[in-house]
Amino acid sequence: MCSTNPGGVVGAWLVFLGWAWTGVHAGPAGPVTWTDEVVELGGGWGRMVALGNGGWIAVTTRYPADTNSYLRISRSTDRARTWTTLAEVREAGRTLDNGELVWLPDGTLLLAMRSLIPNQSYRLPVYASHDGGRTWSYRSTVDAIEGETARQGRGLWEPDFWVLEDGRLVVTYSNEKHSGYSQLISLRVSHDSGVSWGPESWAVTPPRGSNLRPGMSQMTRLANGDYLLAYEVVNSGRADVHVKFSPDGVTWPAGPGERVPCQHCGPFVSALANGLVFVSSCENVVSFSEDFGRTWQKVDPPAWDLGYAHSWPAIYQTGTNEVAVMVVHQGVRVRFGHLQPRPRWPNPWTATFDDGTDRGWARYGGRFAVQDGRYLLSNAGTFGMAMAGDGFWSDGTLEAELRLTSPGNAGLMFRTTNPDYEGPDHAFGYYAGLDTAGLVVLGRMNNAWTLLTNRPVAVSLNTWYRLKVTLEGPRIRVYVNNSSLPQLVVEDFHFARGQIGVRAFQCNAEFDNLRFTNAVPLRLNYRRTPAGLDLDWPWTGVTVRLVSSPAVDAPGLPVVFPVVPGERGWRVTVPGLEESGRFFWLDAD
């Protein structure tokens, strides 16, 4: 379990140093747009599972006054829009919560939960249903703590199921019973659909004797076949969410894992059919990954604009082009969103803000507005950045007009991944900007600031400047006011690709007429070799796939030969291709 302080909320009306405007909603940015359609289930702590026949089963916790909590089972036959109560699961004298469901290939439903008598007994029982959730019977206990350890208040929490590719059932859970550890994440495997459980292993362990508490684990299987485990680490930041990767879902690498930006406390992770990965948490931000969980971007606006709250969110794909986010907010509620096709980025890409919005931009911290065709960052006394574009852009030219209206520094970000709002340099990428101290600066962000170089240049308030950055492999050049020679030149090999963005640190700044000219556009290249036809294309998102057809006007089918990483992108060899008139192209979901 986690407990952190909620963050503040910025009002809809902002007045600051002479600027007055109604704050515009962020974006929208990201692969999903949220609807106003909301379904209420009531209760607290909700989870769902899809059935093979297109229906859904949900479990919610009920907290009646003056007695023990229990679990309610409900069913939907219309993609989670309406629900009918099927059953209730209770245990006499025990408190139930943290219900989790899994649907087995043979049609059996399993339900795990935490079951406890405080300071006396902590158990993780498993119940089974063979009739679609109408009746339930006890099947097994994953783990239990009784006796002296239980009397110390050390418990078991938050079980989560996953069915592996070979049919084995895995459960992970938070475990406080081991001496020397405040809490760790345990794992057990069942070879008989949860009737019995193998020996305990540890998926995530903190340093022995530390106060770190990994917990609230959730697993999913990625489109590349790997498994991803998401979990919080209480007493690391604000219960920061981390992830680990495993080839088999059973063996996990040592160490704390990789931190996920913008996510804190109680994560839930879901891999979609098109390869995208979504994660949310009690931060009530939805993030997505196009590269199997290695980098993350924020969906703006969020599905539920709650700020930090113990909403215990969960994300599900409820249709081919639909996702749903379940939260606890005045009872268990579900909001739906439409999945959008991956953008087809124009070349050059431009942003003028003439439509009065920042559509396509995700905001991280700070205060933002669009006024008179300019993007305003009102960050005097604070910091913030906004990101846009393709997370796989690498080489090219980035240009913008920039005006600082209060002392500080502001400028452009590029080749940036994993942006966050925890600090002014919380991202992985580069920044080139102007400082009213009389400098043009170029630096690297790695959740900390590293100055690469700077140079004196006159910077006046309320004056427009033209900033240009050229990217060619490791070489970065920065130009001010269309100078024919760069003011700064650096070679740095740390970051090869990422989005572009704008940033203002401790100042107010305005941006206009941004342009990125991509020197490595997404283009399919080919050459014949003795082994067949070699095809390659630049790095891009998982939803971009190579397809083929015998006719240019016929539907394309995915190429089934292995796609492997090359020197500058993806590569595939189609062996023995003698057929003439075969067409290949890249298609994006």
Instruction: Tell me what pLDDT residue 578 has.
Output: 59
Nearby residues of 266 by Cβ (< 8 Å), 6 or more positions away? 2, 216, 232, 239, 281, 282, 310, 311, 312, 313
Confidence band for 452, pLDDT divided at 50, 70 and 90: very high
pLDDT digits 0-9 by tens, 138-156: 999 999 999 999 999 999 9
Percent of the chain residues topping a pLDDT of 70: 95
One DSSP character per residue, 357-391 reads: S-TT-EEEES-EEEETTEEEEE-TTSEEEEEES-T
Scan for tokens 């006396």, then name that residue.
120
Least confident of 144-148, 428-432, 534-538: 534-538
**Nearest C-alpha neighbor of 564 from the set 537, 583, 587, 584:** 537
pLDDT of 555 reads 87
d(CA 218, CA 158): 9
pLDDT (average), residues 292-317: 97
Strands 525-529 and 409-417: unpaired
- What is the average pLDDT across 191-214? 98
Give start-end residues of each CATH 2.120.10.10 domain in the chain.
31-339
Using 50, 70 and 90 to split pLDDT, how confident is the model at 552?
confident
Task: Write down the CATH superfamily of domain 349-518.
Answer: Exo-inulinase; domain 1 (2.60.120.560)
The CA-atom distances, in angstroms, between 350 and each of 215, 294, 400, 465 are 43, 27, 10, 17
Residues of the chain with CATH 2.60.120.560: 349-518
Question: In the prediction, which pLDDT does 554 show?
Answer: 85
Domain 31-339, CATH class in plain words:
mainly beta
Instruction: Give the confidence band of 44 by pLDDT, cuts at 50, 70, 90.
Output: very high
Q: How far apart are CA 33 and CA 275, in angstroms?
A: 18
Q: What is the pLDDT of residue 530?
A: 87
- pLDDT bracket for residue 487 (50, 70, 90): very high
Whether the predicted pLDDT of 218 surpasses 70: yes
Bridge partners, 227 (sequence order): 221, 246
pLDDT tens digits for range 369-408: 999 999 999 999 999 999 999 999 999 999 999 999 999 9
Checking if the pLDDT of 25 tops 70, the result is no
Q: Radius of gyration over alpha carbons of the chain, in Å?
A: 26
Query: Which residue carries 């941004």 as its tokens?
Result: 514
- 324, β-bridge pairs: 316, 336
- What does each C-alpha distance from 453 to 111, 444, 445 come to in angstroms? 58, 10, 13
Averaged confidence pLDDT in the chain = 93
> What span, in angstroms and rounded, lies between the C-alpha atoms of 502 and 410?
8
Which of these ranges, 234-238, 340-344, 418-422, 582-586, has the smallest mean pLDDT?
582-586
Average pLDDT over residues 532-538: 90
- pLDDT reported for residue 136: 98
Let me know how many helices (H) and strands (E) the chain has, helices first.
1, 48
Res 438 pLDDT > 60 = yes
The answer to whether residues 193 and 200 touch, using CB atoms and an 8 Å cutoff, is: no
**pLDDT band at residue 246 under the 50/70/90 scheme:** very high
Phi-psi region of 216 (alpha: psi -120 to 50; beta: other; left: phi over 0): left
Tell me what pLDDT residue 328 has.
Answer: 97
- Would you say 112 and 126 are in contact if contact means Cβ atoms under 8 Å apart? yes
How much is the average pLDDT of 485-510? 97
